[in-house]
């Protein structure tokens, strides 16, 4: 149920419409918690229904701007401080590694060098993202930068691992 908390979190920075939030999901949150348009609108309606957010303004084209309520902020704080993160990490990438034995060694090595490449590209993309953002001093910038650093380190780690792993075969 973390899409809910992602929305509450974004609205804690500033009021926004479903469309605004969708754009944020497509850019900054895409690597951490992807969400589709249909999911976002549905969840916003639910959150408004339960009083955790409210419509604060209506604009052209039926635009509805939502803002966090006190209740929503309480829920957000509760999620951050009282609940432990524990989502199961399913890894498509790693699952395949378990079964590389059904392939010929050179095919297995090919898969791993593919991962090396994928990780290098991921690293580069994040570096470019970091350069393209003009970081100011608001909260999302400070913590967004910390999250991005995680992404950089993650890709670097995975690249080194994949290189090592390719060397382990046969």
Partner DNA sequence: GTAAACATGTAACAGGTTACATGATTGT
Partner DNA sequence: ACAATCATGTAACCTGTTACATGTTTAC
Q: Which option in a second copy, DNA, none does residue 140 bind, with CB closer than 5 to 8 A by kind?
A: a second copy
Residue 17 per-residue DSSP state: E
Within residues 102-161, the interface with a second copy by CB under 8 A covers 102-103, 107, 111, 114, 138-140, 142-144, 146-147, 149-150, 153-154, 157-158, 160-161
**Stated length of the chain:** 170
Short-list 43, 169, 61, CA closest to 115 = 169
Q: Given the rule CB under 7 A, which of 29-37, 70-78, 97-105, 123-131 is the region that contacts DNA?
A: 29-37
DSSP letter (8 states) at residue 164:
H
Give the 3-state secondary structure of residue 53.
Answer: strand
In the list 93, 125, 128, 135, the residue contacting a second copy (rule: CB under 8 A) is: 93
39, 150, 13, 66: CA torsion to nearest 10: 0
Judged by beta carbon distances under 5 to 8 A according to partner kind, the member of DNA, a second copy, none in contact with residue 54 is none
CA separation for the pair 19, 23 (Å, rounded): 6
The window from 39-47, 73-81, 125-133, 154-162 that contacts DNA (CB under 7 A) reads 39-47
The residues in 81-120 that bind DNA, with binding defined as CB under 7 A, are 88, 90
Min dist CB 56 to DNA, Å, is 12
Whole-number Cα distances in Å, 70 to 24, 42, 52, 67 = 23, 21, 7, 10
Q: Name beta bridge partners: 67.
A: 54
Binding site for a second copy (CB under 8 A): 2, 5-6, 9, 12-13, 28-29, 31-34, 73, 76-77, 79-81, 84-103, 107, 111, 114, 138-140, 142-144, 146-147, 149-150, 153-154, 157-158, 160-161, 164-165, 168
């Amino acid at each position: 149920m973390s899409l809910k908390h992602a929305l509450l979190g974004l609205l804690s920075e500033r009021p926004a419409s479903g469309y605004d939030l969708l754009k944020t999901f497509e850019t900054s949150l895409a690597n951490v918690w992807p969400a589709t348009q249909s999911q976002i609108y549905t969840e916003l309606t639910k959150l408004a229904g339960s009083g955790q957010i409210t419509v604060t303004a209506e604009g052209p084209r039926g635009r509805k701007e939502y803002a966090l309520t006190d209740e929503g902020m309480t829920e957000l704080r509760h999620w951050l401080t009282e609940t432990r993160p524990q989502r199961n990490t399913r890894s498509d990438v790693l699952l395949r590694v378990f079964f590389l034995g059904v392939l010929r060694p050179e095919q297995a090595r090919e898969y791993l060098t593919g991962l090396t490449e994928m990780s290098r590209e991921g690293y580069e993309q994040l570096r470019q993202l970091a350069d393209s953002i003009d970081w100011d001093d608001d909260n999302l910038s400070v913590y967004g930068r910390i999250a991005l650093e995680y992404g950089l380190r993650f890709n670097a780690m995975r690249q080194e691992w994949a290189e090592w792993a390719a060397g382990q075969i046969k």
